[in-house]
Structures are given as structure tokens and as C-alpha cells.
């Protein structure tokens, strides 16, 4: 079984975001970047699928500039076998990035192609599904369970009020949601081994597409919280404020 994990580099969710002078991108100085948290579920899924199958190959595929290689090495440190770095500047138009990824994935013999359900920075939530469409392959988004047996996948997805079960033939594309698994930490030996794993660099040029970022703005600052008391004694005051001040009850 050959499994691809498409990985995105995003700012750490705890990082303090500053908007750059241009007003359309964030200022990356001093910001720590990490693998997109949903992509970590995809990495873990790839590793455990391979472990369960007792063999196969796992490949991390990432589109981006030089810096994305450090993020890829996190995946390699966790245990992914090798990397394909599609070297180029991602487009603000998700479709253009999906085209580049699909171009690489097409004909490369992958049985399973995994994505995060969305990237926590721009929350586009489209790349995985677009890639599937471009490759004319089945796709299940936001899966919380993924089993592979005899060339078929069965998945579970959390839908309004319940769980949806679905099945499809391979090859197929899946985007991964929280709850799918518990991503492992890279071991120290894994970190040392990551440097030595193959990482192939292919130059790509995503098209400009039809989307541009007009402006970025930080969310309004939240006012400081207030502690009205502790335990049962605080309930009346809290009720009073929720009705008269916050007007939510």
C-alpha cells in the first residue's frame, strides 16, 4: 500500500500573529511554524495504516518555499518514509494549489491520499476535495474513522446529530478530522533519522488563480473576563449578569 500525506506548514496556534506592512500577509519573523494540526491526524493515520498492513510506503508531499522542509522533517521524524517537496509559492486560490498537488499525485501509484480537514491558518477546507475531483477519485472529508481492507475503505464522519458511515474503493482521498487518532510524538531517534531520509525537491509554479487577498485584519480584542464569585454562591449574580448585561438568557 502506498500512502501520500499532503502537509501544510502553518503558524503555531499559540503564536502571536502580526500582520505585515503589505496588509495581506502575516509577518513571519519570530513566529514558530508547525505542521497543520489536522495534518498530524493524517500523518498518524498513514503510519498506523502502514503498520497494520505490515508494509507499504508512506510519503509526505508539501507545497511551499524552503521553510516547508523543516515541517516535512517533523513528519519524517514521526516515521513517514520519504518526502516530496513541491517547491513554489502557494496561491491564495486553493484550486491552483490543488492542481499542483493533483499533478504530482496523478499516476504516482498512491492507494490512499490523506489531507487534514482544513488548515488552521486560512481554514479554506477545500484542497483535499478539489484534488479528489481533479483526479476523479472518491473522497470522504472530515473522517473520524478510517479502515482499509481488501482494496476498500470504510470511514466514519461526524454529521449533525450522528455518525455517517461510508465506504469506497481505493484509490481514494480522505481528509482527516480530530478524533481519528492520537498523533504520536516524534521520538529522538526519529528526529535524528529524519535528516537522512530522502527528500526530493521538484520545482512547481502554481497559477495565479482568481482569488486575491484584499486585506487581513486581526479579530477584535476580547475584553478581560470577570470573576463574579466561586461555587454555588456565585450563581445568582451570574444569572443576573447573563440576563441583564450579556442578555443571553
Partner 1 sequence: MAGSAEYTGVDFYDVDGLLSEEERAVRDTVRSWVDEQLMPVIGECYIEGRFPRQLIPGMAELGLFGANLPEEYGCAGLNNVAYGLIMQELERGDSGIRSFASVQGALVMYPIFTFGSDEQKKHWLPRLAAGTDIGCFGLTEPDFGSNPGGMITTARETADGWLLNGVKMWITNGSQATVAIIWAKTGDINDVNSIRGFIVPASTPGYTGKDQKGKLSLRASDTSEIHLQDVHLPKNAILPKSGGIKSPLMCLTQARYGIAWGAVGAAMACYDEARRYAISRIMFGKPIGQTQIQQQRLADMLTEVTKAQLLVLQLGRLKDQGKATPARVSLAKRNNVSAACDIAREARRLLGANGILVEYHSMRHLANLESVYTYEGTHDMHSLILGQEITGLGAF
Of 57, 162, 177, nearest to 128 by C-alpha is 177
- Binding mask 145-184 toward partner 1 (x if CB under 8 A, else -) reads ----------------------------------------
Using CB under 8 A as the binding rule, whether residue 196 contacts partner 1 is answered as: no
**Contacting residue, 159, 185, 246, 249, with partner 1 by CB under 8 A:** 185
Burial 58-89 (b: 16+ CB within 10 A, else e): bbbbbbbeeebbebbbbbbbbbbbebbbbbbe
Q: How far is the CB of 40 from partner 1 (least distance, A)?
A: 11
> Under a CB-based contact definition with an 8 Å cutoff, are residues 10 and 36 in contact?
yes
114's grid cell: 490523506
**Contacting residue, 22, 89, 187, 240, with partner 1 by CB under 8 A:** 187
- Binding mask 27-56 toward partner 1 (x if CB under 8 A, else -) reads ---x--------------------------
Nearer to partner 1, 160 or 221 (CB): 221
35's grid cell: 505542521
- Binding to partner 1, residues 61-100 (CB under 8 A): 70, 73-74, 77
DSSP-assigned letters across all residues of 50-97: HHHHT--EEEEEEEESTTHHHHHHHHHHHT--EEEEEESPPPSSHHHH
**Contacting residue, 46, 186, 204, 206, with partner 1 by CB under 8 A:** 186
Nearer to partner 1, 71 or 175 (CB): 71
Q: What is the Cα–Cα distance from 88 to 78, expressed in whole angstroms?
A: 25
Interface contacts to partner 1, rule CB under 8 A: 12, 14, 30, 70, 73-74, 77, 185-189, 191-192, 194-195
Amino acid at each position: 500500500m502506498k500512502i501520500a500525506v499532503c502537509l501544510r506548514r502553518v503558524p503555531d496556534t499559540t503564536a502571536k500573529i502580526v500582520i505585515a506592512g503589505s496588509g495581506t500577509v502575516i509577518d513571519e519573523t519570530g513566529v514558530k511554524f508547525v505542521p497543520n494540526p489536522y495534518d498530524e491526524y493524517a500523518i498518524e493515520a498513514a503510519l498506523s495504516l502502514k503498520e497494520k498492513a505490515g508494509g507499504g510506503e508512506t510519503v509526505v508531499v508539501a507545497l511551499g518555499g524552503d521553510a516547508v522542509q523543516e515541517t516535512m522533517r517533523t513528519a519524517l521524524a514521526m516515521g513517514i518514509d520519504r518526502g516530496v517537496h513541491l517547491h513554489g509559492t502557494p496561491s491564495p486560490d486553493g484550486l491552483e494549489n490543488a492542481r499542483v498537488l493533483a499533478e504530482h499525485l496523478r499516476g504516482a501509484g498512491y492507494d490512499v491520499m490523506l489531507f487534514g480537514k482544513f488548515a488552521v491558518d486560512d481554514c479554506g477546507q477545500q484542497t483535499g476535495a478539489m484534488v479528489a475531483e481533479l483526479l476523479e477519485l472518491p473522497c470522504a472529508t472530515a473522517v473520524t474513522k478510517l479502515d482499509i481492507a481488501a482494496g476498500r475503505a470504510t470511514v466514519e464522519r461526524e454529521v449533525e446529530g450522528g455518525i455517517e458511515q461510508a465506504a469506497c474503493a481505493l484509490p481514494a482521498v480522505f481528509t482527516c478530522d480530530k478524533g481519528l487518532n492520537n498523533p504520536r510524538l516524534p521520538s529522538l531517534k526519529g528526529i535524528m533519522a529524519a535528516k537522512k531520509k530522502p527528500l526530493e525537491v521538484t520545482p512547481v509554479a502554481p497559477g495565479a488563480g482568481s482569488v486575491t487577498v484584499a486585506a487581513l485584519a486581526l479579530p477584535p480584542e476580547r475584553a478581560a473576563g470577570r470573576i463574579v464569585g466561586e461555587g454555588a454562591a456565585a450563581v445568582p449574580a451570574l444569572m443576573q449578569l447573563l440576563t441583564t448585561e450579556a442578555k443571553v438568557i
